[in-house]
């Protein structure tokens, strides 16, 4: 059995859902999961814009006229996920996250 399947079985036995992630992981892991989620959503923006499938967001002016190759949501620089995590950590001020730390302590 693969590791993912084992973890999914464990989560099912303990009735842990994906929404419970913040209750069982530490700060950097939670931040990493958040960055992964945002990173994957950013990768999808260009195709969603050209397909008129942006949930609540307006289509860019180029996709509206059919020039999908000039889409404003198109990624100009491709960074790896690791670089994205490092960029977030570099610009993160720990004092800005004190309220999150306090809230997480109340959950424990």
Reported as a single tens digit per residue, the pLDDT across 37-69 is: 888 888 888 888 888 776 777 888 998 898 888
Overall domain count for the chain: 1
* Domain assignment present for 72: yes
* Domain assignment present for 61: yes
* Domain assignment present for 50: yes
Which residues constitute the domain of residue 37?
A: 29-107
* Domain assignment present for 88: yes
2 burial type by CB count under 10 A (0-12 exposed, 13-18 middle, 19+ buried): exposed
* Domain assignment present for 10: no
* Domain assignment present for 86: yes
* Domain assignment present for 75: yes
- pLDDT value at residue 25: 66
- The model carries a pTM of 0.53
**CA 42/CA 81 separation, integer angstroms:** 11
């Amino acid at each position: 059995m693969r590791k993912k399947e084992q973890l999914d079985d464990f989560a099912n036995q303990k009735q842990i859902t994906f929404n419970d992630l913040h209750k069982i992981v530490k700060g950097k892991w939670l931040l990493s999961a958040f960055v992964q989620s945002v990173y994957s959503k950013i990768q999808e923006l260009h195709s969603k814009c050209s397909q008129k499938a942006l949930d609540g967001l307006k289509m860019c002016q180029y996709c509206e006229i059919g020039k999908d190759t000039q889409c404003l949501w198109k990624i100009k620089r491709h960074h790896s996920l690791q670089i994205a995590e490092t960029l977030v950590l570099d610009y993160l001020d720990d004092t800005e996250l004190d309220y999150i730390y306090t809230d997480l302590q109340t959950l424990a």
